[in-house]
Amino acid sequence: MTSIETELAPLEFSVTKNLAARSAAQRDEILQNPGFGSTFTDHMVDICWSARGGWHRPRVQPYGPIALDPAAAVLHYGQEIFEGIKAYRHADGSIHTFRPDQNAARLQRSARRMALPELPAEYFIQSLRELIAVDGAWTPSGEDQSLYLRPFMFAKEAFLGVRPAQKVAYYVIASPAGSYFSGGVKPVRIWLSETYARAGRGGTGAAKTGGNYASSLLPQAEAAEKGCDQVVFLDQDGNVEELGGMNVVFVYKDGRIVTPQSDSILEGITRNSLLQLAEDRGHTVERRAVSLNEWRDGVASGDIVEVFACGTAAVVTPIGTLVAEGFEDEQPRGDLALSLREELTDIQYGRREDKHGWLYRLDA
Ligand SMILES: *Cc1c(COP(=O)(O)O)cnc(C)c1O
């Protein structure tokens, strides 16, 4: 075990193999039908941080429970951030991830907002490589399957005073993931939450932090009661924000693509990538406030021809219906969302040229 003095020296991970690791046969059976987020690989990565010692004790160890002091700050004040990124198996067996530099930079932005330490991008990427080095065989090879990687960081210092923790843990776990939509991509019904917000001006909406998800659970339950799959939130000015786990994109009749911009929206890497691909095809992209009226009027007049949501887990989801107290707007169906989805996943799975240099090989 080596502790690290300088930030940019590569970390030397200690590796403890899981003696109870599942057999290849057991693993293959799980990979036949992995679902989403319910099965995990045999190992996990963790790196400690302290205000005195910086990043230290990088480890790969058997996947399992984390011992925490009951006074650990995260359990009381929610000082926590995470990322979501996938590993894709290509036809030649190699394992790649997608724009990990972007996830590393976002984890740093989230860390700044939540007063957590910024993990250097090199360490972030190295942590993914270390986990793939022991658990790469868990990357499935079926259509639309991937290994979902979940890096996360939390305040573990045992202290009930309110200030940034001086002891922090960073982990990476991995979960094989099947196709998000069994039986093809289906348009979803979206509930417009007019009672609840997920974030506010100057709040934590742009950080990938658990609290934003906690605050979205009650509106999500309300959506389910109304027969909807997801919630769309408005910001404090009544503009369209996002779904709480996916960004929203509008396609206009003249080919313009418009997506909400505000400091309470989480900048999705899927969205940025889809919009880049759309620009490559000649579409004009506008990032600006979109009011609920613009959305509803645009659909009514035929100016808006397609609305979709996007994020790493589901990639692209067409929005089929917008439901609120007092109205139910059928959304127009187009084919741009699914065509961009195909182009993006073709790049991710190595079926199409990676013109932007977005892929990063993890297993070599
Ligand atoms: C992660 C996330 C997204 C989607 O981001 P991607 O990088 O595309 O996966 C959108 N909204 C919120 C709140 C998120 O946490």
Ligand 1 nearest-atom number relative to CA 310? 8
Number of domains in the chain: 2
d(CA 229, CA 36): 16
Cα Rg of the chain, angstroms: 21
- The verdict on the CB of residue 260 being under 6 Å from ligand 1 is no
Residues 171 and 193 grouped into a single domain? no
Ligand 1 nearest-atom number relative to CA 83? 1
Q: Is 298 helix (H, G, I), strand (E, B) or coil?
A: helix
Residues 170 and 240 grouped into a single domain? no
Task: For ligand 1, pick from 98, 246, 275, 340 the residue to mutate: most ligand atoms within 8 Å of CB.
Answer: 246
Task: For ligand 1, pick from 312, 316, 358 the residue to mutate: most ligand atoms within 8 Å of CB.
Answer: 312
- The verdict on the CB of residue 84 being under 6 Å from ligand 1 is yes
Does a structural domain hold residue 247?
yes
pLDDT at 10 (0 to 100): 87
- The verdict on the CB of residue 205 being under 6 Å from ligand 1 is no
- The verdict on the CB of residue 266 being under 6 Å from ligand 1 is yes
Asked if 117 and 108 touch (Cβ cutoff 8 Å), the reply is no
pLDDT at 335 (0 to 100): 95
Residues 86 and 233 grouped into a single domain? no
- The verdict on the CB of residue 268 being under 6 Å from ligand 1 is yes
Q: How far away, in angstroms, is 91 Cα from ligand 1 center? A: 27
Asked if 149 and 131 touch (Cβ cutoff 8 Å), the reply is yes
Residues 307 and 168 grouped into a single domain? no
Residues 109 and 153 grouped into a single domain? yes
Question: The domain spanning residue 322 has which CATH number?
Answer: 3.20.10.10
Burial of 278 by CB count in 10 Å (0-12 exposed, 13-18 middle, 19+ buried)? Answer: buried
pLDDT at 7 (0 to 100): 55
Does a structural domain hold residue 233?
yes
Residues 121 and 268 grouped into a single domain? no
Residue 344: name the closest of 88, 171, 162 by CA. 88
Range of the domain at 23: 14-179+350-361
Does a structural domain hold residue 345?
no
Residues 264 and 319 grouped into a single domain? yes
Task: For ligand 1, pick from 232, 266, 269 the residue to mutate: most ligand atoms within 8 Å of CB.
Answer: 266
Residues 250 and 171 grouped into a single domain? no
- Residues of the chain by 3-state class (helix, strand, coil), percent to 5: 25, 30, 45
Does a structural domain hold residue 212?
yes
**DSSP bridge partners of 14:** 59
Asked if 149 and 183 touch (Cβ cutoff 8 Å), the reply is no
pLDDT at 361 (0 to 100): 98
pLDDT at 5 (0 to 100): 43
Residues 164 and 225 grouped into a single domain? no
List the pLDDT tens digit at each of the 364 positions of the chain. Answer: 333 344 578 899 999 999 999 999 999 999 999 988 999 999 999 999 999 999 999 999 999 999 999 999 999 999 999 999 999 999 999 999 999 999 999 999 999 999 999 999 999 999 999 999 999 999 999 999 999 999 999 999 999 999 999 999 999 999 999 987 766 788 999 999 999 999 989 999 999 999 999 999 999 999 999 999 999 999 989 999 999 899 999 999 999 999 999 999 999 999 999 999 999 999 999 999 999 999 999 999 999 999 999 999 999 999 999 999 999 999 999 999 999 999 999 999 999 999 999 999 999 9
Question: The domain spanning residue 21 has which CATH number?
Answer: 3.30.470.10
Residues 68 and 203 grouped into a single domain? no
Cα 165 → chain centroid: 25
- The verdict on the CB of residue 312 being under 6 Å from ligand 1 is yes
